[in-house]
Structures are given as C-alpha cells and as structure tokens.
Structure 1
Amino acid sequence: MMLKLSLLMAVISLAVPLSVFAEEHGHNQVSTPYAGFEAREIKSLSAQDVAELRRGGGWGLALPAELSGLPGPAHLLELQEELALSRDQVAAITLMFEEMQAEAIAAGERFIAAEAAVSAAFEDAAVPQEELSSLLTIAAEARASLRLVHLSRHLATPALLTDEQVQ
C-alpha cells in the first residue's frame, strides 16, 4: 500500500511541474508558433510553400549563390535592362530559365510527394523507425535534387555575362 501511495505521489508531483512548464514555455495551443499547422495537408509545407514549389520558384534554396554574387537566371531576366543584356544573352538566359523551371517543377513535385508521405506516416503514431528513416531519406534526397536544380544554374550564369555585368 505504501509503495502504491509513493508511486501515486511521484506521478502527481511530476504532472504539476510539467503542466506549468508547458504553459510557461508556450506549449499550450493558444501561444504555440505552430498554431494552425495541424490543419495543413502536408504538415511541413504551407500552402504558399506548395504553390512556390509547384511553379518552380526558388523557395530560398539558392541563397548561398545569391549571397555570393552569383545571380540566377530569373533575377538576370528581371534586371536585363539595368545590366544591358544583349539579345543573345537574353535568349540564352531565357532558355536556361525555362529548362531550370521545368526541372524545378518536376523536382518540386517529388519533394512535395516525399513530404506528404512523411506527414501521412505520422497519422499513425506507431510508424516504425526503419520506415521513418526511409521516408526521411527520400525527402532529403528530393530536397537536395531540387536545390541542385537551382544552385547549378547560379553557377552557370557568369559564363553568359561580361565581367562588368557580373560586377
């Protein structure tokens, strides 16, 4: 009887501090930064993320290149007047952009599908670790492939520009 009472008291003493901790650290439903995310079809992607990926947008995946002064074809086309791009340059960059966008759309769809599979696995809280590991590997590879599509084009753009345009 004493053992049961001691165990009950231990459980109660843990429950109170944990609930207080949850409230103090924003783990209640009102103040969580993820409020509303549970309604997402794909938990890790917003509707805006999915739309950006489906249109072949950059989704911030090429930041290392952008911030190192290697523009992508979309930005070059946006700035073609300021950069005084020739017709030949515009044609080459447009072709690069169209190819990149087509590849990015396909890679984005693979990434969306992989993230959807991860979300679906968590609908059953008993997803086996081996299955989870496989799903995460597929999602990571899909994201890396998508990122490669964008970053590789940033590496290719300087060859189409003059030194002055790169500056």
Structure 2
Amino acid sequence: MPKPLILIMAAILSSDPALAGESHHEHIHSPPYAGEQTREIKALSKEDIDELLRGGGWGLAKSAELNGMPGPTHVLDMAAELDLSAEQIERTRKMRNAMRREAKQIGERVVVKEAELESRFRVGDIVEAELMARVSEIEALRAKLRTAHLLAHIEMARVLSADQIERYAVLRGYR
C-alpha cells in the first residue's frame, strides 16, 4: 500500500474511534423525530395540517416565488407598496380566492388520506400493494396541490408590470 494512502487511513481512523473499532457502550442517540410519535398523523405536524386545511401555500410554490413570479396572497398584502390599480387588486383577489378554494379542497383530501395511511400503520398489517396505492394517491394529490399554487404564481406574473414584479422582489428581500 502506498505511503500517502496509509497516512490518510491512519488519520481517518485516529479521528473517529468508531472506524478504528473502539466500542462505546454509552452511545446516546438524539433521534430527529423524538416527540413526533404523539402526533395524530405522524407524517404531518399540526402546522402542516392547519396550512393544508386553510388552503395555504405550504412552501409549494418556491420555484415560482424565488424566480420572479409573485404569489397573489403576498401581492395583496403589499398592494399599496406595489401601487396596484383597482383592476389589479380585483383580478388578484379573484385569483387568490379561486386558488385557495382549490387548495383547501385538495389539502383536506391530503389530510384525510394521510390519516387513513396512518391508521393502516397503526393496525400494523399494511401490505406492499396497498402501501403503494395509498402513497401514489397521496402524492398525486400533493402534485395537484403544488400545481394549483404554481399556476396562481404564473397568472399573477401576467397581472403585474415588470416594475411591480421587481419592486415585489425587493420588498420580499430577494434582491
């Protein structure tokens, strides 16, 4: 074995006793999910559920938001700073309300389907075919939810002027 390789291996083994074969009996693990076992639906926090049930964004439109396509909810929050016209405000309100209705309906279904999956794991007899079907259904709903939010951002970019979009980016701290 070449000398440089031996030196590298020695350095690695001396820096990590586990790699060198040393045994540590008092290993304390800090599991990242500690405390989450008490959730009603383990895969969703209370905040996740609240966001889904109210039709909130749940961070699903970041690819649009962070690439210059504002969201209707934030645009309405900044209507004065963006100097929106009455027509822009009306179009944005309609767009936001339609998106929220759709997102709320889909979000409710996501929560129900996650609860059903949770209950199957509680029983403990879920089989692979059922698991695949349930997860596919949940992920299809998530895709619809994300699409609803992203489409609202695309539509919003058509309502605002280039100057308003730039001002939005500055106000949101992206520029």
Q: Same fold (TM over 0.5)?
A: yes
Letter in 1 for 2:142: R
TM-superposed deviation, 1:154: 0.5
Report how far residue 24 of structure 1 moved: 3.6
Offset at 1:165? 1.0
Q: Which amino acid aligns with 1:100?
A: M
Hey, what's the Cα distance between the residues in 2 that align with 1:49 and 1:84?
33
CA distance in 1, matches of 2:48, 2:34: 17
> Per-residue deviation at 1:25?
6.8
What amino acid does structure 1 have at the position aligned with 2:74?
A: H
Q: Distance in 2 between matches of 1:59 and 1:84?
A: 27
- The answer for unaligned runs of 5 or more in structure 1 is 1-19
- The answer as to whether partners of 1:114 and 1:142 remain within 8 angstroms in 2 is no
TM-score (norm 1): 0.81
Counterparts in 2 of 1:66 and 1:134: CA distance versus 1, 3 Å: same
1: CA distance, partners of 2:163 / 2:104: 32
Task: Provide the rounded CA distance (Å) in 2 between the counterparts of 1:76 and 1:156.
Answer: 12
Count of residues paired in the alignment? 144
- CA offset at residue 105 of structure 1? 0.5
Q: Alignment RMSD, CA only?
A: 1.8
Match for residue 50 of structure 2? 51
SS at match of 1:123: helix
**Once superposed, which parts of structure 1, at least 4 consecutive aligned residues long, lie more than 6 Å away?**
none
Stretch deviating more after TM superposition (124-133 or 97-106)? 124-133
Match of 2:151 in 1: 152
CA contact (8 A) 1:42 1:119 kept: yes
Tell me, yes or no, if structure 1 residue 77 matches structure 2 residue 52. no
Q: How many angstroms apart in 2 are the aligned matches of 1:34 and 1:163?
A: 44
Listed as ranges, the matches of 1:1-167 within 5 Å are 24=27, 26=29, 31-167=30-166
Matching residue's letter, 2:61: A
Partners of 2:28 and 2:162 lie apart in 1 by 52
In the TM superposition, residue 159 of structure 1 has moved relative to its aligned partner by 1.1
CA distance in 1, matches of 2:128, 2:48: 27
Name the aligned partner's letter for residue 48 of structure 1: E
Percent identity of paired positions between Structure 1 and Structure 2: 41
Matched to 2:158, the amino acid is A
